[in-house]
Amino acid sequence: YRRMLGKLKGEPAITADGVPIRLLANVELPDDSADAAEVGADGIGLYRTEFLYMNREDMPSEEEQLAAYRRVLRSVDGPVTIRTLDLGADKTLGQGRDPAQSTNPALGLRAIRLCLKETDMFRVQLRALLRASAEGDVRVMLPMISNTQELKQTRHLIGETMNQLRAEGHAFNSALPVGAMIEVPAAALSAPLLARHADFFSLGTNDLIQYTLAMDRVDDEINYLYDPLHPAVLRLIKLTIEAGEQAPIPVSMCGEMASDRRYTRLLLGLGLTEFSMHPASILEVKQLIMQSNVAALREQVDAMLACGDADEFREHLDALDEPAP
Ligand code: PEP
Ligand code: MG
């Protein structure tokens, strides 16, 4: 079985009816990108930069960040989507160093909110990202976007940083793509409006499910509520994909749902064409994609969206598991 998956490495991820799908990797440390290259990922769909900041006493300098981004750029072919610092809630600095002491961290000053408040810290990361963009296909992805203002403000900061770098004689990509993670229900519901200010979307289903279903993703007592097939979650995913098609801007998914083979056909049927996941899942998901017929799945999944609840949906989903004729 492993040998068979190994053979898939060099094969393009194209569905049985000829739809090309991009399979990207999620990485947490620069060294993880070697695993992504190993399985033939089409690029990096999510580089979680908070790991550069965690488990240490100081903040990473511009040069240190630039070196990390360069390492990732050099080790994979294809785009490298670097997510700006997503600190707060389940990702903390520890040792009493966390800037926000909210009563409800998941709803507090985290991710893009924190970066737009602590702009001195954010500017260091933006400088490093921009300088890295001179050396490869860097894309910047913003976590926890919940309104257009945050996108506009970040773009403004990026513009200012570009002017500064230009004056200093540093090279950068002046057309650096800037995308929004869709992981807050408000973002999914207003996706057509956000799309006017974003170059791409990436669905963060881990948080999208947490916020949609009002269930703390790290609370074991209520983890039975975590259900990617909840009709509300599926509707938000569909809205986001449709907004991307309309705009048009690319939509990918980088939450755990994208790496779970149980949902691959469903996501193809919802119109998803870019998946980003842990490198270890890429070949298994690719195998399923190559056996799938997107045109048929789109019809089947469309009809399934009328299901009354997740259990009913799950039954239909099991029936989808027949390989395409
Ligand atoms: C997500 O929320 O789905 C996501 C990919 O980001 P993280 O798990 O790092 O919050
Ligand atoms: Mg998230």
For ligand 1, is residue 254 a contact (CB within 6 Å)?
yes
The count of other CB atoms within 10 Å of the CB of residue 29 is: 13
Q: Which atom of ligand 1 is nearest to the CA of 48?
A: 9
CA 169 – CA 47 distance, rounded (Å): 27
pLDDT digits (tens, 9 = 90+) for 229-252: 999 999 999 999 999 999 999 999
Q: Which atom of ligand 1 is nearest to the CA of 256?
A: 3
CA of 163 to the centre of ligand 2 (A): 30
ipTM of the complex: 0.99
Q: Which atom of ligand 1 is nearest to the CA of 90?
A: 10
CA of 206 to the centre of ligand 1 (A): 5
Helices (H), the chain: 2-8, 33-38, 62-75, 111-117, 119-133, 148-168, 185-189, 191-194, 205-212, 231-246, 261-269, 282-290, 294-304, 310-319
Structure confidence at residue 55 (pLDDT): 86
For ligand 1, is residue 88 a contact (CB within 6 Å)?
no
CA of 84 to the centre of ligand 2 (A): 11
CA 177 – CA 145 distance, rounded (Å): 16
pLDDT digits (tens, 9 = 90+) for 44-83: 999 999 999 998 889 999 999 999 999 999 999 999 999 9
> Mean pLDDT, to the nearest integer, of 10-24?
97
CA of 29 to the centre of ligand 2 (A): 17
